[in-house]
Amino acid sequence: MKVVASPPVRLTGPADNLIGTSGNDVFLARTVNNANTLQDGDRIDGGAGVDTLYADMTGTGVAITPIFTNLESVVVRAQATTSDPINGNNMTNRPVQIDAQRSLGVDAADHVTAAVGVTRWESNNSRSDVIIEDVRIGNSQKTSDITIAMVETDPGNVDYAVYFNQQSLRNASTSSGSLNIYVMDTESVKAGTAALKNTAFNGFSFKTAAGATVTLGGTNTQEGSAFDAAQTYAELQTAFVNGLKKANVDGVVKDLSADYTVTLSSDVNMQTEVAKGGGASAKVAESFLNLTGKFLTLKSAEPFSKSDTAYKWTYAENTAPGAGAIAQAFNSAASSVSELVTSKVILDDVGMGSTGGDLVIGGMSVGETSTSRGVERFEIEVRDNSKLQTINSTNNALREVTIKNGAISRTVGDAYTNYLSGDLTVNGNANGAVAGTGVAGNDSILKGVDEGSPVADHHGAFGFSDVRLIDAHEMTGKLAFTAQITQDTIAKYITLVDTQPSPTGDVAEVTT
């Protein structure tokens, strides 16, 4: 079914209660006689489709809290400037502020009723600071599901700040398990013959952390015959790969080839490798007699059981292991990797050909005693040429920035646009910074940038502060930026507590 755009629906001023259609609805909130039509108490339910609110707003000195349900994009055009003495444009004072607490869809008691809220917050053609606070996401979402866009904002100190609810600063974690499988016919290896000559097994069985028993190969199966016939480690690897295709999982045959991988190591000292497992493994390792062999590693997105009896070779009924001296061992491990809390950012003609303002994306908790996290990674897409002064998160949380180009939105003839790829400049505060004052020249510093910082200089002469990675290898446009490393990096990246018994055990030596 094709979803089409519906005619725009206009807000009128008094408490609006608007419901969209199954199409891609557009809601327009224009100013009328210098008054905002988007106000406290307004309710907008976009219905199905991809729905957008375009709101022209003047600063009132307080934040408004509209209620949004099934609304995907909010585009704000601020029509009053900040209170900065010199702001770079010709309008009057006050920023535009939106409290996004009810943007996820709530009932009369403010209980969340929606699984997904606004997925794009945009400042577009603003000539004033725009501040979005208390941005909330659904339980199944992570912070990177929300796009923050700064589009064609005016030159001068025209800033954009987005503050997420602390519980909506979420990332994703990936876990994995691995099982190292060591086996060798030591008598055969010492004699110079096959490493698995007399193993005689016809399969392999293991348990998952969830308790399922998985058997590969087995009696009277083609896969089991391949295990039995394997004389080399490469043949054993092939037997595992084929066994996974017809694995027996608690009595049910399943194809697990997409869930597990089997890799083969290079030649290693088997006794040394097995001993790395520690504990009982050290004693078992001695049975490998310092001989050279290979080991298999079975990997999965799910951990393996940690039980010592969870792994075993299987043999045909009434069949014992072969006549050789068969050494065997298993080491399992689990790992978990958490991505950084990430925001997806679009910069499109920021500054309109001149130098624009600052961008801050982070968390609500920015007080001097706050230890709360901010956003740790920005994934920036540059469209038309953009010039910003500084890019920060709150509480000096920003660690990594990636930059690439996206589709441009202007024409070939536009003097401010590189048609093939937009450029990005982030060269620091253009007004002359005064560290620790809360004011950078004539530009008031957005909340969360310097609070709690001994240096209080993250809104100064440098575009980026204390960022360990700025990666623009995918960018085809030009990139110009300045960056600094301050003393705040010590607390940010370095653990100043000994973690080993010896005071010097975790001290790194640097040579030049």
CA pair distance 27, 7, nearest whole angstrom: 9
53: confidence class by pLDDT, cuts 50, 70, 90? very high
pLDDT at 263 over 80: yes
CA pair distance 120, 345, nearest whole angstrom: 10
Instruction: Quote the tokens at residue 421.
Output: 């790829």
Instruction: Quote the tokens at residue 448.
Output: 């969360």
CA pair distance 165, 373, nearest whole angstrom: 11
Enumerate the domain spans of the chain: 58-170+340-493, 174-337
The single-letter DSSP state of residue 340 is: P
pLDDT digits (tens, 9 = 90+) for 108-161: 777 777 778 899 999 999 999 999 999 999 888 999 999 999 999 999 999 999
HEC profile of 421-442: CCCEEECCCCCCCCCCCCEECC
Amino acid 510: pLDDT: 44
485: confidence class by pLDDT, cuts 50, 70, 90? very high
pLDDT at 290 over 90: yes
Q: If you average pLDDT over residues 273-295, what whole number do you get?
A: 86
Q: If you average pLDDT over residues 64-68, what whole number do you get?
A: 92
pLDDT digits (tens, 9 = 90+) for 428-456: 987 665 444 444 555 778 888 876 666 66
Nearest to 302 by CA among 205, 178, 206, 204: 178
Q: If you average pLDDT over residues 404-433, what whole number do you get?
A: 72
Choose the weakest-confidence range: 1-10, 281-290, 332-341, 430-439.
430-439
Q: Is the dihedral of CA 277, 278, 281, 282 positive or negative?
A: positive
3-state SS, residue 480: strand
Nearest to 54 by CA among 27, 31, 16, 80: 27
CA pair distance 223, 195, nearest whole angstrom: 20
CA pair distance 371, 393, nearest whole angstrom: 13
Amino acid 28: pLDDT: 96
Q: Are 397 and 360 in contact (CB under 8 A)?
A: no
412: confidence class by pLDDT, cuts 50, 70, 90? very low
Nearest to 79 by CA among 120, 16, 124: 124
pLDDT at 168 over 80: yes
Radius of gyration of the chain (CA): 31
Q: Where are the beta strands (DSSP E) in 301-395?
A: 311-314, 326-338, 342-348, 359-363, 377-382, 386-388, 391-392
pLDDT at 281 over 80: no
Q: If you average pLDDT over residues 458-466, what whole number do you get?
A: 88
pLDDT digits (tens, 9 = 90+) for 340-381: 999 999 999 999 999 999 999 999 987 665 667 799 999 999
pTM for the predicted model, two decimal places: 0.73
Amino acid 318: pLDDT: 57
- Side chain identity at residue 63, one-letter code: A
The single-letter DSSP state of residue 207 is: E
In the predicted model, what is the mean pLDDT of the chain?
Answer: 85
